[in-house]
Structure 1
């Protein structure tokens, strides 16, 4: 296992989730500040849109480049068109908890998880579903029996979906059929003692995953063989590969405690590190 060291790129955020490289820059929402930022390679921050709905904790881009954001509390996916947010899909009658992270395939299907229970009211964790939003807006259940599905990636040339089950300390895989349906649920990697959160995949099908509770970012292959590791103070939240050559790993962290997060202290940081294997 190789240890890597990242460098800070930008700071003075509250809590950054779901960074995504798009059109020459990094796009990333601040979940507790309700702002979508665009950050260039020098760390210059530009506000794309502010006053987002509460906890916009995931971001993605449709095949035509249209940004999608989660309205977690309202359990909706929103699209950003001409600087305005419009409802793209309403999962309020489907999801049993606030919406969480999502991933979009090349055909525009969205795979989205949800908490499954009321985390903030102190309810006990419950299993939930991964939902599929088809390109025509149709909703369906994709996979069941997952606990707090969080970060998600598609690997193996589209044949496999991998999702982080945060409280179980596990990455779980599903086979994907050509029509986007999911089957053959199985363990991709066990990560005991860690809470996997946001993640991304590289061109070799390995996964970079953030461990929220340990402040680690790990590159691993199926079966949990860890090839690279970074460590940060506080919490490691989410990551993505980008840059002009796809070999810059962008990592969001919170360099404080859980009480600091609850107090909305501005301790969110965006880091970068150069890696050998690029984005797919």
Structure 2
């Protein structure tokens, strides 16, 4: 996720959470760059704003019939249903006592676990926790060999049940890598399996979004930038990685950077980048772009997999898709 930016007071004050009319939003549109996009998004499909009035939205997850999402600088975990009705699930969801206002200290990435609970990245508390059915929070991972994590960001389960997550320094709000509270010498991608935590990638500057191809043989990781890069890795036995290569290097210019990503069942990558969401083939060709009036941070497929939800600054947007997205390993 990028660091929250200052938004004009007229957009957020007073803070009013509400559903938006299901119509094309000003400035939101789908740009077709290649004919192949028509098989993924129907020509004329509209981008709807589902709800708005938040501080900085992130970490979307379709769970039990609603979209759960994080408000990073608002320090709240919320859910919104298909009609746009918003519910606050957990206040102070970043887990930091007396959090400083406006900083990246709230919750972030969310992923369902096999028992029906949800794992949540807490940027303030610098750990991954479990959210039970009663919304009780239990710590799961907080350090590597006695050194505290930076601020876990995005999470994904692999086919073998291993948990992978990115750990950039966005939650270290006193200078990120220069923050005196930083303990690890790198910003890693970690793999957690069999009770063992392993840093599997340590050479990225700001690892952020993460996801697997439908056959689980390729791992995609974004390095935020801006403007940022998405790297692809070949996944071997036991999570061993090889063949690091650039899937796409984003052009500079528009606001935003390489943040969250998801993959559809045909292997295309849907990724946030400057100016909105890129739809990218496995070969790295940009098929189209979803342009938004706000900076997009993350996205998730919901429902039957044919609805794409996008968390973008103060709002949550959605778009119907022809192709189904790959749902999380333990989705329900």
Question: More deviation in 91-100 or 1-10?
Answer: 91-100
Structure 1 pair 67–122 and aligned structure 2 pair: CA distance change class (3 A) = closer
**Quick check: 1:111–1:130 contact (8 Å CA) kept in 2?**
yes
| 1:121 maps to 2:175 | yes
> Of residues 179, 184, 208 in structure 1, which corresponds to 2:238?
179
Unaligned runs of 5+ in 1: 255-267
Structure 1 pair 10–171 and aligned structure 2 pair: CA distance change class (3 A) = same
**Quick check: 1:76–1:88 contact (8 Å CA) kept in 2?**
yes
| 1:189 maps to 2:248 | yes
State how far apart, in whole Å, the 2-side matches of 1:130 and 1:172 are.
12
> Of residues 222, 229, 232 in structure 2, which corresponds to 1:170?
229
- Report the equivalent of 1:264: none
Structure 1 pair 127–222 and aligned structure 2 pair: CA distance change class (3 A) = farther
State how far apart, in whole Å, the 2-side matches of 1:71 and 1:58 are.
8
1:192 Cα shift? 2.6
State how far apart, in whole Å, the 2-side matches of 1:127 and 1:216 are.
28
| 1:199 maps to 2:245 | no
- Please give the per-residue CA displacement for 1:152-195, whole angstroms capped at 9, x wherever unaligned: 11114111110111116210112222423323322122223262
> Of residues 178, 192, 206 in structure 2, which corresponds to 1:133?
192
- Report the equivalent of 2:7: none
**Quick check: 2:214–2:265 contact (8 Å CA) kept in 1?**
no
State how far apart, in whole Å, the 1-side matches of 2:67 and 2:176 are.
34
State how far apart, in whole Å, the 2-side matches of 1:224 and 1:138 are.
33
| 1:101 maps to 2:161 | no
> Of residues 45, 67, 73 in structure 1, which corresponds to 2:86?
45
| 1:29 maps to 2:70 | yes
> Of residues 126, 137, 155 in structure 1, which corresponds to 2:213?
155
State how far apart, in whole Å, the 2-side matches of 1:83 and 1:137 are.
23
- Please give the per-residue CA displacement for 1:210-236, whole angstroms capped at 9, x wherever unaligned: 12xx33111112343111211122311
Q: Which has the larger radius of gyration?
A: 2
> Of residues 69, 75, 80 in structure 1, which corresponds to 2:120?
69
- Report the equivalent of 1:233: 293
State how far apart, in whole Å, the 1-side matches of 2:264 and 2:135 are.
31
Residues paired across the two proteins, number: 263
State how far apart, in whole Å, the 2-side matches of 1:66 and 1:137 are.
18
**Quick check: 1:159–1:176 contact (8 Å CA) kept in 2?**
yes
More strand by share: 1
**Quick check: 1:189–1:222 contact (8 Å CA) kept in 2?**
no
Structure 1 pair 152–174 and aligned structure 2 pair: CA distance change class (3 A) = same
1:116 Cα shift? 5.1
1:206 Cα shift? 0.6
Structure 1 pair 216–124 and aligned structure 2 pair: CA distance change class (3 A) = farther
Question: Please, what TM-score do these two structures have when normalized by structure 2?
Answer: 0.72
